[in-house]
Amino acid sequence: MRAISLVITLGCLTLSGCSSVFDKHVEYKYVEPNNYPVLKAVGYAPISLQKGASASQKQLMAIKASKLEAYRELTEQVYGQKVTAGMSVENAVAKDDYLESKVQGVIKGAQIIKTYAVDDTYVTELELNMKRVHDLYIGEIKPREVKKVTYY
């Protein structure tokens, strides 16, 4: 009986002893992609159809609308688009048909390249350099991978 308890005690010491004897130090290195794409988007807005009391107000509203349209297009490129569609049929005749699209996301680091009017349309060109997005991301998140593990 004494031999069995001695074997059990030695086994427990052997199993639990490893974790208290060794410790480790982990060094990390930052991961950077090989290349960075540049995404471009263009937004359009008609000037004369905007709500406003004067031509200047309508133009300012068109500037804002074209900028938002450009950001929407950029968001579609980055996050994709959720499309919902449906149709109801009654007596073998299409009764109701609908198509809905939604875009949701956060765009950081986009730059307005050009903003100008062409006839009755206001145009905004945006650019999203993924290098800039990466630099913003690194500043906030600091992703890393294991570079070296030293046991002592």
| Mean local confidence (pLDDT), 67-83 | 95
**Residue 44 covered by a domain:** yes
**Residue 46 covered by a domain:** yes
Provide the pLDDT for residue 104. 94
Q: Which amino acid is at 51?
A: K
pTM, two decimals, is 0.66
C-alpha distances out from residue 86 to 15, 41, 91, 95, Å = 62, 29, 17, 11
**Residue 12 covered by a domain:** no
- The answer on pLDDT for 123 being more than 70 is yes
- Domain tally for the chain? 1
Tell me the pLDDT band of 141, cut-offs 50, 70 and 90.
confident
**Residue 135 covered by a domain:** yes
- The answer on pLDDT for 2 being more than 70 is no
Q: Which domain holds residue 137?
A: 24-151
On average, the pLDDT of the chain sits at 85
**Residue 121 covered by a domain:** yes
Backbone phi, then psi, for 19, in 5-degree steps? -70, -30
